Structures are given as C-alpha cells and as structure tokens.
C-alpha cells in the first residue's frame, strides 16, 4: 500500500496514478499562471506615451498588447522608449501639452489600455504581434525581414514571426 502524503491539508495516496494526476494538475496550474498571469512593468504607462504621443486609446492598447504578447512568450518588454535619458521630463512635457492643447489625459488613457490588455478580456487587435515599428518615419527594420505584418494601427505597423 502507498504511503499517505499531506499537501496543504489535502491527503492522497501516493500511487503512480495519483502521482501522474498530481503532476498534471501542478503542470496545468503553472502553465496557466504563466500563460495568462503576466504583470505589466510598473512604468509601462510611460513607455506607451513615449512610443506614441497621440493619446489614442487604440494605439496604446495595441502597444500594450504587444508587450503582453512578448512577456507571455518569455521575451523582454521591448520598449526602447523606456531607455530615453530624459524620459521623465519628456513624459511630463507631453502629458502637459496634451492636457492643455487637446484636453486629453494621456496617463489615464495609457493606464486604461494597460489594464484592459493585461486583463486578457479584450480581443488582441494586433493579431498576436510581438513587434511593431513606425515604418513611415523610420523605415522597415531589418528584424522585420522574416516576419509577417499582422495589422497597422495608428502610425505603427505590427509584426509577428512566420
């Protein structure tokens, strides 16, 4: 007869069948938590504003979804704008300008887009993209050669691997 093992108040006989079931459950819990449990970087809202100063919810949502897709795939967030030396002063200037000129709350819009993207309750409008670029301004990047375009939203073209 197998021995009794206590796992957080749950007793179960340690047989090969129960071991397989237990390992399967543990695997599913781990996989599920990483597949739909990533958290956004704390300063992601700054990254959205620095990447796109339009204040467009759809653009911010698309960029947030790309970040989520990258984190789900165990990649880094990929936001080059967060590396700006003058990031905080740039953000402050853009937030102030949008508030005065267009009566837009860039921080609120960015935070809503992040919340929606990382809740997994909105459709991925990027088509599963994990890269994007403002092609009209910067040209098609070399890394995009082996990727397919999934969509264009605002000024950005979105890509994923073939």
- pTM of the complete model: 0.77
The residue ranges of every structural domain in the chain are 4-35, 44-161
Q: Residue 135, CB half-sphere, CA atoms under 13 Å: how many?
A: 17
Residue 5's φ and ψ, nearest 5 degrees, are: -120, 135
Q: How far apart are CA 153 and CA 134, in angstroms?
A: 10
What six digits make up the tokens of 40? 């956004």
* 151, β-bridge pairs: 158
* 160, β-bridge pairs: 148
Whether 154 and 58 have beta carbons less than 8 Å apart is answered as yes
pLDDT for 89-145, tens place per residue? 999 999 999 999 999 999 999 999 999 999 999 999 999 999 999 999 999 999 999
pLDDT bin (cut points 50, 70, 90) of residue 17 is: low
Burial 29-44 (b: 16+ CB within 10 A, else e): eeeeeeeeebebbeeb
Q: How far apart are CA 154 and CA 79, in angstroms?
A: 17
């Amino acid at each position: 007869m197998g021995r009794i093992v206590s796992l957080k108040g749950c007793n179960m006989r340690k047989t090969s069948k129960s071991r397989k079931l237990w390992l399967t459950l543990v695997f599913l819990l781990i996989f599920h938590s990483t597949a739909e449990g990533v958290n956004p970087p704390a300063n992601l809202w700054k990254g959205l504003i620095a990447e796109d100063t339009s204040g467009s919810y759809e653009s911010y949502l698309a960029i947030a979804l790309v970040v989520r897709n990258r984190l789900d795939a165990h990649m880094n967030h990929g936001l080059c704008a967060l590396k700006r030396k003058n990031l905080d002063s740039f953000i402050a200037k853009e937030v102030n300008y949008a508030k005065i000129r267009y009566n837009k709350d860039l921080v609120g819009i960015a935070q809503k887009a992040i919340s929606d993207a990382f809740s997994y309750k909105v459709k991925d409008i990027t088509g599963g993209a994990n890269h994007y670029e403002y092609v009209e301004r910067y040209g098609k990047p070399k890394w995009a050669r082996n990727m397919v375009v999934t969509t264009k939203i605002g000024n950005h073209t979105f890509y994923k691997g073939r």
